[in-house]
Amino acid sequence: MKILKDEAGVEPTALKIMAGVVLLVIGLGIGVAVYKMVGGSVTAMKVDVSLAQSSTTIAKNNTDNIQVDVTLIMGTTENVTLYTIGVPDNVAVTFSPPSGKPPFYSTMKVSVGSTAAPGTYTLTVLAKTSSGATSGSVPFDLTITL
């Protein structure tokens, strides 16, 4: 086999280019995997908080239990704690369990005291991370009757 002067070194150069491309692809694959592992913990966790019912009517001196479902939408799973805001005076809202790692279920117990003012109130159920960031919420309407 006779190698022409113009063709000398073409195969080794082509092989070097191919080897470089293969190493680049492997490096990118490893880099993406590491980024997803490390970057995933940096991504803010978002959860979906849903209630078995969006409203309830409770007479004074009574309670109602509503199931709460907390599911992960994105990010790395971490512990979240359930809270409510907009709770009127003489109404107590508790969760059992009050926290967990999504996905989990909780029971929201709404207790209306004897001196609670009748009316309709919009409460908001929040899921907060350990750093205090809200990662999900859902509104809930409470009607108090005599």
- Are both 85 and 63 inside the same structural domain? yes
What CA–CA distance (Å, rounded) separates 10 from 13? 5
Spatial CA neighbour of 81 closest among 138, 140, 130: 130
The answer on pLDDT for 5 being more than 80 is: no
Total number of domains in the chain: 2
Question: Residue 128 is part of which domain span?
Answer: 46-145
| Token pair belonging to 144 | 């108090």
Lowest mean pLDDT among 39-48, 55-64, 115-124, 125-134: 39-48
Higher pLDDT among residues 72 and 9, named by residue: 72
Question: Any idea which residue has 């692809």 for tokens?
Answer: 25
- Are both 68 and 19 inside the same structural domain? no
The model's pLDDT over 28-38, given as tens digits with 9 standing for 90+, comes to 677 666 555 55
Helix (H) or strand (E) holding 28: helix 10-42
Q: What is the CATH number of the domain that holds 68?
A: 2.60.40.10
Report the DSSP beta bridge partners of residue 72: 47
Q: Is the pTM of this model over 0.85?
A: no
Q: Is residue 1 domain-resident?
A: no
Give the single-character DSSP code of 97.
Answer: S
